[in-house]
Amino acid sequence: MPKPAIILVQPQMGENIGAAARAMCNFGLEDLKLVNPRDGWPSESATANSAGALDIMPPVEVFEKTADALKNYHTVYATTARPRDMRKKVMSANHAAQDIADKQSQGLKTAILFGGERAGLTNDDIALAHNIISIPVNPDFSSINLGQSVLLVAYELFQTTNDTTPENLPVGDSAPVSHKELNEMIERLETELEDRKFFRNPDMRPSLIRNIRNSLTRANLTEQETRTFQGIISALIGNKIK
């Protein structure tokens, strides 16, 4: 599925353009356009701060006017930090990411506008957009920079199009212990404890065993950890460790 374009309008510092490019690569975006960058293009500081991203992305296109950069797009999103006196749909980054994914899956091309460091997008730029993206932030400390804004929007887009539920994230290599092996360990523990008169009150024995079983089950032991516990039992009862 094609990905949205990121368009930086009148960005000032090359460092921030580099950070934006890096954030885009981190989250699988590659279409970066610049409108009227203050210090020209290409930029050494952008390349240095992109951590290699600008080397692997397609060439960055540079335009004089925002409208020219938007020529081929169907739906445009403008990011703004402060509310503007314009009637447009305002979306959080999270909801915008979902909306963008929907549009892209319908074959519509989308672009996201980010303004320069000093004052953000002009009202004329925002008038070119269909929707506004407002990143929710602490109102008492709301300054986030250009690179961070691109990072958060790119992150939300990546989350929308990649299944990142915990089940799909890697877990450690060790295999979980089978019920049989865990049970053998617990039964052996019970036997050894009985031999050592651990269960002074026979009435309490079932609930004590149940508590031990509960806690060891909750620990989700691996095979290796279970073998380690078997070794611990052997050591504690005075068996030589083989």
**Closest distance of CB 78 from its own copies, Å:** 12
Question: By CB under 8 A, which span of 47-55, 68-76, 103-111, 231-239 interacts with its own copies?
Answer: 47-55
3-class SS at 155?
helix
Place of tokens 């611990």: 232
Q: Contact between 51 and its own copies (CB under 8 A)?
A: yes
Q: Please count the residues of this chain forming the interface with its own copies, following the rule CB under 8 A.
A: 51
Place of tokens 């049970």: 183
Select from 17, 35, 53, 54 the one that contacts its own copies (CB under 8 A): 53
Between 119 and 204, name the residue whose CB sits nearer to its own copies. 119
* Cα–Cα distance, 33 to 111 (Å, whole number): 10
Q: Contact between 100 and its own copies (CB under 8 A)?
A: no
* Cα–Cα distance, 157 to 97 (Å, whole number): 5
Site string for its own copies, 211-230 (x = CB under 8 A): ---------xxx--x-----
3-class SS at 153?
helix
Place of tokens 């990121």: 6
Q: Contact between 25 and its own copies (CB under 8 A)?
A: yes
Between 9 and 21, name the residue whose CB sits nearer to its own copies. 21
Beta strand residue intervals within the chain, DSSP E: 5-9, 32-35, 61-63, 75-79, 89-91, 110-114, 131-133
**Closest distance of CB 183 from its own copies, Å:** 18
b/e per residue, 10-19, with b = 16+ CB within 10 A? bbebbbbbbb
Nearest to residue 192, comparing CAs of 156, 154, 238?
238
Q: What does the block give as tokens for 101?
A: 């994914």
Q: Provide the residue type at 74 as one letter.
A: H
Question: By CB under 8 A, which span of 20-28, 38-46, 188-196, 203-211 interacts with its own copies?
Answer: 20-28
Q: Contact between 159 and its own copies (CB under 8 A)?
A: yes
Between 35 and 97, name the residue whose CB sits nearer to its own copies. 97
Task: Using CB under 8 A, list all residues that contact its own copies.
Answer: 22-23, 25-28, 51-53, 56, 83-92, 94-95, 134, 136-138, 141-144, 148, 151-152, 155, 158-159, 162, 164-166, 169-174, 176, 220-222, 225
